[in-house]
A and B are shown apart, each in its own frame.
Chain A
Amino acid sequence: MTVGKRSTSFGHNAGTVTLILSSLAGGEKHGYSLVKDVEEFAGVHIAPGTLYEAIARLEKQKLIEPVESDDRRRPYRLTAEGATALANQLRAQRRATDVGLKRLDRGWTIA
């Protein structure tokens, strides 16, 4: 299976990064609204230290960028490169999900 080059660079925080990028795909958000959005669509709470570690890395990789703001809470938006990386990552996840579900359908009875 060939996974998009950019998706592999998500590293050990792939789960958190995917959630953050998926949230920003819906529009620019600051840290707190991003956490609330992820909580709503994924049921996962991202701790502040983990969130800002990921934000700093994503910004360095130019997958997200800060938006000018007068507020202390600086919003971030997805870049074109970030959108491509997210698409690659989600496609790879979908392939893995499809394979897993097919195999479960063939040999397992799920209660």
Chain B
Amino acid sequence: MATKREKGDSAKRAHRLIRFYPMSWRERYGDEFAAHMEQEIEDTPKSPSRTLNVMMKGLYTRAKNFTWRVIFMQPGDGKFQAGVLIPIAVIVGIAVTSFSGWPINGHKAWPAEVLIGVLFAFVVFGVIHDSHRIRTYGPAKRFSKDRLIPVAVILISTLPIIFHNEIGHTTLLLYVVLSLDLILFAYKFGWVGRRLSSINGPSTPVVRGNTKL
């Protein structure tokens, strides 16, 4: 029989894992899935394969939802178009530009250049968006926040290339800057930011006209 504290822990862990799923899915299945997960966690407290299964299925559902929404985009879905397609176009544009005008160590490290170009574009978009937040573009806001995943994936995937000295000092410096952005991002949206704001009190919202941003 699980104690009250163990039940609380399993509920916390279940809710943490459910966040891998998209909002629309959580609205429909979230509650029952949480109840199911809590019972599973009480039965088997530690199961890396279960965690991996939920993470993979959650990310797969996110990708599927996003793809379907883009494919079956309705003409009236203007906010979604503006919020997702424009950032994607900007990111691809900056990535292609940075790749074409950025020859580092010949052609040896070209996949890294493209990856870092994409990473750079993600960061540029994120920083611009964070500083000029447009309230109506909800998808853009989520897209900006979601840049953490691609940025982290690219950082990790290009690390072996850095360690094999296939990238020059300029790229390395850029890499450091991008890593700093990740840290700032974690500060702004992650637990560090929440913890600091709980110590310092909530930040004052910026007010532009009558709209609280």
Q: Give residues in A with beta carbon < 8 Å to B.
A: 30-32, 35, 47-53, 55-56, 71-74
Contacts and interface: CB of A to CB of B under 8 A. Distances in A.
A74 B53 contact: no
Interface residues of B, number: 22
Contacts of A49: 53-58
Contacts of A56: 25, 28-29
Interface in B143-198: none
28 contacts: A30-B32, A30-B36, A32-B36, A35-B40, A47-B49, A47-B53, A48-B37, A48-B40, A48-B53, A48-B54, A49-B54, A49-B55, A49-B56, A49-B57, A50-B57, A51-B36, A52-B29, A52-B36, A52-B57, A53-B60, A55-B29, A56-B28, A56-B29, A71-B35, A72-B31, A72-B32, A72-B35, A74-B32
A35 B61 CA distance: 21
A53 B57 contact: yes
A48 B61 contact: no
A73 B36 CA distance: 7
Contacts, number: 54
A71 B31 CA distance: 10
A53 B39 contact: no
Interface of B: 25, 28-29, 31-37, 39-40, 49-50, 53-58, 60-61
Task: Kindly list the 10 A-B residue pairs having the minimum CB-CB distance in the complex, ordered from nearest.
Answer: A49-B57, A47-B53, A31-B36, A72-B35, A49-B53, A49-B54, A74-B32, A73-B35, A32-B39, A72-B31
A43 B31 CA distance: 27
A31 B33 contact: yes
Given A48-B53, A56-B25, A72 B34 contact: yes
B25 A48 contact: no
A53 B61 contact: yes
**Looking at A30, A32, A48, A50, which has the most chain B CB atoms within 10 Å of its CB?**
A48
